[in-house]
Amino acid sequence: MTRRIPVGVLLSGGGTNLQALIDACASPTHPAEIVLVLSNNADAYGLERARKAGIATAVVNHREYSDRVTFDAALQTVLEDAGVEIVCLAGFLRILTEGFVEAWRDRMLNIHPSLLPAYKGLETHQRALDDGVALHGCTVHLVRADLDSGPMLLQAEVPVLPEDDAATLATRVLYREHEIYPAALSLLASGRIKVEDEVAFIDGVPGPKRLTMAG
C-alpha cells in the first residue's frame, strides 16, 4: 500500500474548506491523510468537523503567548509531534512569522478568494465588483512570508454576473475553493509539484493551472 502523506490543517473558524479536504482525503486513493486539525480558537466549528471524522484535534490559544514567535514555536511543536509533513491553512486568522513559514517552505498551502496576484488581502469580492471585472475566482498557492504571495498552483475562474453582490459572488467562489483545494493538496502530496525560481511546475508545466468551468 502506498504511503499517504500526513497533513495538518490550521483554522480559526467554521472550516468549510477543511470539510472539503476531509471528504477528499476519505478516499483511500488520495495521497494525503489529515492527521491533525489545529486551531487558535477552542470554539472553532472546524474542530467539531474534525472530531466527527475521527481526526485528532489540538488548540493553541494565541492569547496565552507573549508574542508571535513563541506562539508559532508552540504550533511547530504540536505539528511535529503529530508527524505532520504538509500544512494546509484553512481560514487561520493569525499572521505567521517568517521563521515558521520558512520551516514549511514548499510544504504549506493556502487558498485565497481571488485570482492572484489580483486582490491580495481582504474584501476581495467587493473589490472585484467595484472594479467591474468579468472574471473572479480563487487560487491555491504555496505560502511565503509576504501576504498572499508564493508560487501559485491552481486557480478556478468564476464569472461575475450583472446581478452579483459580494455575498452571491463569495458563495460561488467558495464552491470552487472546495474543488481546487483538495486537488492542489493531492498534487503536492503525490510529488507532482517542483518549485524553481518561485514558479511551481506541475508535471513539468509552469503554473498556475487555471480551471475555467463556469461557476
In a domain, 199, yes or no: yes
Q: Which pLDDT score is estimated for 215?
A: 42
Residues 165, 73 share a domain: no
Q: Which pLDDT score is estimated for 213?
A: 58
Residues 45, 15 share a domain: yes
Residues 12, 72 share a domain: yes
Q: Which pLDDT score is estimated for 1?
A: 59
Name, in order, each residue with C-beta under 8 angstroms of 31's C-beta and a sequence gap of 6 or more. Answer: 2, 4, 5, 186, 189, 190
Instruction: Assess contact for 55 and 35: CB atoms under 8 A.
Output: yes
Q: Which residues of the chain have pLDDT under 70?
A: 1, 213-215
Residues 96, 6 share a domain: yes
In the chain, alpha helices (H): 16-25, 45-52, 68-81, 98-103, 124-131, 166-189
Residues 175, 91 share a domain: no
Residues 51, 22 share a domain: yes
Domain that holds residue 42: 1-104
In a domain, 145, yes or no: no
Q: Which pLDDT score is estimated for 212?
A: 81
In a domain, 43, yes or no: yes
CATH, residue 154: 3.40.50.170
**Residue where a domain terminates, one of 104, 124, 158:** 104
Residues 194, 134 share a domain: yes
> What is the radius of gyration, based on Cα positions, of the chain?
17
Q: Which pLDDT score is estimated for 62?
A: 94
Q: Is the dihedral of CA 62, 145, 124, 175 positive or negative?
A: negative
> How many domains are contained in the chain?
2
In a domain, 144, yes or no: no
The answer to whether 62 is a known catalytic residue is no
Joined grid coordinates for residue 172: 460561488
In a domain, 78, yes or no: yes
Place of cell 509576504: 146
Residues 124, 206 share a domain: yes
In a domain, 6, yes or no: yes
User: Which pairs with CB-CB distance under 8 Å and at least 24 residues apart come from 122-128?
Assistant: 123/166, 125/166, 125/167, 125/169, 125/170, 125/173, 126/166, 128/160, 128/169
Residues 56, 31 share a domain: yes
Residues 91, 128 share a domain: no
Joined grid coordinates for residue 175: 464552491
Entry pTM: 0.94
Residues 130, 49 share a domain: no
Residues 99, 2 share a domain: yes
Query: Which residue among 30, 112, 125, 178 is the active-site one?
Result: 112
